[in-house]
Structure 1
Amino acid sequence: MKYEVVRDFPDSILFDRGGVCISIYQPTHKNKSENALDKIMFKNQVQKAERSLAQKFSKREIEEFLDPLYKLDQDNEFWNKTKDGLAIFLNKNKCVIYKLDRELKELTVVSDSFHIKPLIRVFQSADKYYVLGLNRKTFKLYYGDRYGLTEIEFAEDVPVEITDVLGDQYTSPHISISKGGTMYGTGSKKDEIEKDIERYLRYIDKFIWENYSKPTGAPLVLVALKEYQGEFRKISGNKYLIEKGIDKDFESLDINTIREESWKIIEAIYLNKTAELVELYNNGKSKELAGDSLEDVSKKAIEGRIETVLLESDKLIPGKVDLETGEIERKPLEDVETDDVLDDIAELVLKSKGEVVMLPKERMPTESGVAAIFRY
């Protein structure tokens, strides 16, 4: 069995239950000089899984089951092209890997279902966002949340400069350009250059949409001079592009300034969204269309009755939800068949096409770690 790197969330494997399900999270580094440390951490994670499996399985059974992870450990090409974090999911049928633009805490969980709450936090946290900086020559993409902003390093084979994107079709400019980005000149040369810029912007739009916006649904802030703000917005089909942008050349700003300016835009959206969800929850509770009881929420999750569930991002409740009755069975996390009750609820809600939103403790309207809005 070969491992597969995936981008779309949620992958079908995340809903698999029964048998052994191994979930591994860890931070990684883009710098090749630090890859050795990543591999050491990964080996430690695999050893944790081995010790947990040893409670119920023979050495031979463990080695057969973990074979994809052993092969991954030897894949130097894989480790040379990591991002900021890894999420790995393995069962007897499949092994999938997410390369993530967000650092994750080291964690290994062996259970009869996958532990997906950290992954949900990456894909469905209310505060995550991207920042796209562009001009007529190049572009950069940043990933941010309320804690900070980091530049995303693209793979070496991804063209970034306009000359690399257009290749032989690029028209060499021989006309003057003002500080504001406006081109001066006459005739076909100017027209060709404008066409080049349009093709380049269309390439950027498609690249960002397919690789970042579509898989995550995260809002996108544009940092560019007014001229390029207008040109990009005119051709962009990205529904997550925020109307308000930063009208400056991104190359003239340091990353801290970009973070401060972009977070001002995102914070208003973030606070508004969380406030709306909390208000919906409070209004629903008065009509018995919302609740925070773990037992009640787990049963309604099995029945497919949850429209939206808010989960406390750092809270972990050891145990599992019985898929037949919805009852919660409390067990220590070290047990091979034990996961996180909140994680089970999240999985059930996603499976029934509900929305899962991860919030920090200070934004949660409840103390139980869960606040659910019911469909009926």
Structure 2
Amino acid sequence: MIFWSRPVILLYASDCPANWPERLFEIFRVKKGEVIMAVFSVDELKKLSETIENPCISVYMPTHRTGRETEQDPIRFKNLLTRVERDLEKTGMKERAIDEFLKPLRELLHDTLLWQHMAEGFAVFRSPDTFSYYRLPVRFDEFHYTGTRFHLKPLMPILTGDGQFYILVMSQKSVRLLRGSRDSVHPVEIEDLPDNLADALNIDEYIQTMQFHTGTSMRQAGRSAIFHGHGAGEDDETHDIKQYLRKIDEALCNYIGSQRIPVILAGVDSLLPLYREISDYGNLYEEGLPGNHDIERPEDIHKKAWSILKPYFDRNRRKAEEKYHELKNNDLATAKLPDILKAAVSGRIDTLFVDLKDHLWGRYVPESGAIFIEDQPELESVDLLDAAAINTIKKGGTVYAVKGDELPDDSPLAAVLRY
């Protein structure tokens, strides 16, 4: 049963002061003059999605890495905050309370370092008990919303694996992880990732011990430390390299967690097969980038990696679309809103296609299945497309947040069901 009623509000940005507790997720850090990206995970999406407070504001905007437009980004953000202020006034909030509520967001306007190290998009979330902001590799449209929940659909492309991947660049001299999308690439900081082979095997410490006890030269000790772990000869060198690669793999698996984002390997020919042999990560792409990439720019590595991975992403989405059309007449695929909302809540959606740009404001009552559609958002309403996407992600389904003309049916959402 669908009831037609009335309207909600919304907004986005990214990063937050150290004195803000609990739900602060810093997606970029500045380290040694380089912007490092940490992962935005499904767990963080879940925490944001579980917030139910009055009000919850969400703000999204496109940002720029370089050029004169970087100076305009804080001005655009200030303008968005002015619109949010008006929305809060409409809810009946008093001027003093609004000023206090928006204070941490306005303080971001004066954070020069923040605006100097932006990515493609900025998302900000604020409620009475939550303040978090993110610089992300997705170019958002300007958007603000005020309701009793956060609006999270614009984050879907980051979480679904649709065009998101990692590049593990390694040699005996260095290791780095890059996170890429269709259009961007960023260095990623991983805790416990060794800097190189010597760091992984504590060779510097071993060399100092050798020199102290035996007077062995630095060069001789270094060779012994690397190549004579359990005896002599090439097998011991391979053993030490595998030990090094295991430490890389352990750090990688701990960092990515349960996400199934593909990882493409970039490194010298001798390392790649050894890493595949020892790795516990379940989605190493079969083709890699052989060669020494120690001094190669991330942008150049990304270009090579994307040329390999593009068919993979296109193929996965195409297979999902084909599956939708195959099952459409068997009750295992649907474009009906009531069926999709019910299936999303119960965890029955395998794959969901949803219009990234469209909104369908209203309310859904899971207990009765009633849907209230509203022409404009109100404080208690949500974007029902957003709700379907979030529940699908939380229950382990795949979401393709796409443009309207890329949807497999004449509907803002379409789903393949598990059963």
TM-score bucket (shorter structure): 0.7 to 0.9
Tell me by how many angstroms 1:130 deviates: 1.6
Judge conservation of contact 2:185–2:299 (CA < 8 Å) in 1.
no
Amino acid at match of 1:322: Y
What residue is the counterpart of 2:9 in the other structure?
none
**Higher relative contact order (CA closer than 8 Å, sequence separation 6+):** 2
Query: Deviations for 1:308-361, whole angstroms, at most 9, x for unmatched residues?
Result: 311133x3124123235441413335x555553311221233344443232344
Aligned mate of 1:15, from 50, 55, 62: 50
Aligned mate of 1:141, from 152, 170, 177: 177
Q: TM-score, normalised by structure 2?
A: 0.71
What residue is the counterpart of 1:47 in the other structure?
82
Q: Does 1:96 align with 2:132?
A: yes
Amino acid at match of 2:251: F
Query: Deviations for 1:99-130, whole angstroms, at most 9, x for unmatched residues?
Result: 43444444322222221111111111422212
Percent identity at matched positions?
Answer: 27
- CA 1:208–1:287 in structure 2 vs 1: closer, same or farther (change >3 Å)? same
**Cα distance in structure 1, aligned partners of 2:258 and 2:144:** 24
Judge conservation of contact 1:281–1:373 (CA < 8 Å) in 2.
yes
Judge conservation of contact 1:170–1:196 (CA < 8 Å) in 2.
no
Q: Does 1:4 align with 2:24?
A: yes
Aligned mate of 1:120, from 156, 160, 167: 156
Aligned mate of 1:319, from 361, 365, 372: 361
- CA 1:167–1:369 in structure 2 vs 1: closer, same or farther (change >3 Å)? farther
Judge conservation of contact 2:175–2:194 (CA < 8 Å) in 1.
no
Q: TM-score, normalised by structure 1?
A: 0.78
What residue is the counterpart of 1:87 in the other structure?
123
**Cα distance in structure 1, aligned partners of 2:283 and 2:194:** 23
Report the 3-state secondary structure (helix = DSSP H, G, I; strand = E; otherwise coil) of the residue aligned with 1:357: strand
Tell me by how many angstroms 1:230 deviates: 1.9
**Cα distance in structure 1, aligned partners of 2:296 and 2:117:** 28
**Cα distance in structure 1, aligned partners of 2:374 and 2:99:** 30
Tell me by how many angstroms 1:227 deviates: 0.2
Task: Please report the RMSD computed on the Cα atoms of aligned residues, expressed in angstroms.
Answer: 4.0
Judge conservation of contact 2:168–2:175 (CA < 8 Å) in 1.
yes
Higher mean displacement: 366-375 or 6-15: 6-15
Report the 3-state secondary structure (helix = DSSP H, G, I; strand = E; otherwise coil) of the residue aligned with 1:113: coil
Higher mean displacement: 232-241 or 61-70: 61-70
Amino acid at match of 1:45: L
What residue is the counterpart of 1:210 in the other structure?
254
- CA 1:58–1:123 in structure 2 vs 1: closer, same or farther (change >3 Å)? same
Unaligned runs of 5+ in 1: 178-182
Report the 3-state secondary structure (helix = DSSP H, G, I; strand = E; otherwise coil) of the residue aligned with 1:234: helix
| Aligned positions, number | 365
Aligned mate of 2:341, from 287, 294, 298: 298
**Cα distance in structure 2, aligned partners of 1:215 and 1:40:** 38
Judge conservation of contact 2:193–2:248 (CA < 8 Å) in 1.
no
What residue is the counterpart of 1:180 in the other structure?
none
Unaligned runs of 5+ in 2: 1-19, 27-39, 208-217
Amino acid at match of 1:219: P
- CA 1:97–1:264 in structure 2 vs 1: closer, same or farther (change >3 Å)? same
- CA 1:279–1:174 in structure 2 vs 1: closer, same or farther (change >3 Å)? farther
Q: Does 1:342 align with 2:382?
A: no
1:274-293 → structure 2 map (5 Å cutoff): 274-293=317-336
Aligned mate of 1:245, from 282, 285, 288: 288
What residue is the counterpart of 1:367 in the other structure?
410
**Cα distance in structure 1, aligned partners of 2:383 and 2:41:** 23
Amino acid at match of 2:102: L
Report the 3-state secondary structure (helix = DSSP H, G, I; strand = E; otherwise coil) of the residue aligned with 1:54: helix
Judge conservation of contact 2:363–2:382 (CA < 8 Å) in 1.
no
Tell me by how many angstroms 1:219 deviates: 0.5
Judge conservation of contact 2:53–2:127 (CA < 8 Å) in 1.
no
**Cα distance in structure 1, aligned partners of 2:291 and 2:113:** 38
Amino acid at match of 1:316: D
Judge conservation of contact 2:332–2:417 (CA < 8 Å) in 1.
yes
Report the 3-state secondary structure (helix = DSSP H, G, I; strand = E; otherwise coil) of the residue aligned with 2:317: helix
Aligned mate of 1:331, from 369, 375, 389: 375
